[in-house]
Every structure is written in C-alpha cells, then in structure tokens.
Amino acid sequence: MDGTMSAKVAVITGAGRGLGRSAALKLAQQGVGIIGTWNSDAAAAEAVAGEIEEFGCKCAMLELDVARSETFGAFADEVCKALEQSFDRTNFDFLVNNAGIGIHAAFADTTPEQFDQLVNIHLKGPFFLTQALLPFLHEEGSIVNVSSGLTRFALPGYAAYAAMKGGVEVLTRYLAKELGPHGITVNAIAPGAIETDFGGGVVRDNQEVNEFVAQNTALGRVGLPDDIGGAIAAMLSDGNRWMTAQRVEVSGGMFI
C-alpha cells in the first residue's frame, strides 16, 4: 500500500469480480478503504475482501441486486452502518457504478424482458442508487460510471446494451452539472473488450473472438481487468480533480 489516498473510502458495485474487483484492489493499493457489493457469489466477494485487507485497508462487502431499486433505501442504511462500524465516519469519498451484465441479442430478436433487465441494471440502477447514496457522498467527492466502448463503435447484438450505456453517458454529464456546485466530479469510463466473464466470458474464452479484437486494437491485444481498474483509480486520484463530465475510453485503441 502506497498510502497516497489513505483515509478515503470508495463504494464499488460489483466488486466481487472482473472490473469491480480490479478497481477495488487498485484503490486499496493506494490506501482507499472499500465498501463493495456482490449479488450472486458471496465467497468471491469475501476473497476480494481478504485481498484488500492484505494491503492494510478495511473492507466491507454488502449484498446488492442493482436491478431492484426498491431496495436502495435499505442498502443506503447498510452503507451507513458499514461506514460507522468499519471506518468510524459518516460519509464516503468515491462511488463507482460498475455492476452489470451482458446480453447478446440481435435487435430483431431482443425481447421486452431482456430490454427491461438491461434498463434496470445499467441505467435505472445507477440513477437511483446514486440518488440514494448522494446524501452520504462527501462534498468534493467523485463518481465514476462504467459505460462501454460500444457507445462509439457498433457490433451486432449489442443494440439494447449499448443504448443503456449511451444513457449512462448522458446521465454522467447531467450529474456533473447538477453536483458540480458541491465540488463533486462525475465521469464515465468506457472500456473496450476485456477478458472477464462478461457475456459468458466470450472475449476471454473464445480464441476466434479474442484474436479478432486484438487485430482491431491499436495496442495489439485484448484488454485485461487491471487495465480498467488502474484507469478508474487514476480517474479518482487527487490529480484529476479538474476533470468532470467526461467520457474516457480505455480500449487500447479499439476500432480506430
């Protein structure tokens, strides 16, 4: 732990795996305490908590289904309890809206149920979770919303998913405008294709897909979770306090 952001606390959704796990670990390496969420794998979340504690940071892992906005009030209460019990404070500094799923379906085949699921998780969830947690976000804090490279380039089968992420980017700018008077910065990070279990792990596990992405990326490889976790940590650093309302693509130069 280098301690450059010690005494800070971050709330990260989907911190038990993938990009959320990497962001939590990268921030913990800089001294940031973590309140992470998990939905389906408590054991994985506890393993991440153990890794964070090895860096000398405190960590609390809370269960949350970001598709169920009706639970956000109770979740905010749990965050307050975790802040008091684990960190001896009443507010936190960073919010990373990361949790999500991937649904691959052609536009003509996308069902209302799939569309609604994506809305609830990727757009309604960040909107109302941020609203519920805002009273506990420290003035001059920061929010990072996870978007996608798919808002810039198009690949068949992701129309609904990309539409939600486009909404996240618009929401990011409006939050930056409305929360700016409180000194709160709000930015979006847009990852390219990353080797995670997202979408069934297709980028990670399908060699043909992996090679296709690498061949169409300026840096010649597929992204790794730490490429994004490190970028999120950098966006939340004190040196980025003048950056807000921005979409930062971290794709290694995919499809340029």
pTM above 0.85, yes or no: yes
CATH hierarchy code of domain 9-250:
3.40.50.720
Pairing of strands 33-38, 9-12: parallel
**CA triplet 122, 127, 133: central angle to 5 degrees?**
120
* pLDDT tens-place string over residues 149-160: 999 999 999 999
pLDDT at 1: 65
Q: Is residue 8 within 8 Å of residue 28, measured between CB atoms?
A: no
Q: Which long-range contacts (CB under 8 A, 24 or more apart) does 15-18 make?
A: 15/45, 15/48, 15/61, 15/98, 16/41, 16/44, 16/45, 16/48, 16/61, 17/41, 17/44, 17/196, 17/197, 18/194, 18/196, 18/197, 18/198, 18/225
pLDDT of residue 74: 99
Residue 114, class by beta-carbon neighbours within 10 Å (0-12 exposed, 13-18 middle, 19+ buried)? middle
pLDDT value of position 99: 98
Q: What average pLDDT does range 198-203 have in this prediction?
A: 80
pLDDT at residue 253 tops 70: yes
pLDDT tens digits along 29-82: 999 999 999 999 999 999 999 999 999 999 999 999 999 999 999 999 999 999
**CA gyration radius for the chain?**
17
Domain ranges of the chain: 9-250
Mean pLDDT (whole number) for 135-150:
98
- Weakest-pLDDT range from 1-5, 212-216, 247-251: 1-5
**Tens digits of residue pLDDT in 230-241:** 999 999 999 999
**Residue type for 78, please?**
E
Q: How confident is the model at residue 128 (pLDDT cuts 50, 70, 90)?
A: very high
Q: How far apart are CA 58 and CA 49, in angstroms?
A: 8
> What pLDDT does 202 receive?
84
**Band of residue 199 on the pLDDT scale cut at 50, 70, 90:** confident
Active site residues: 161
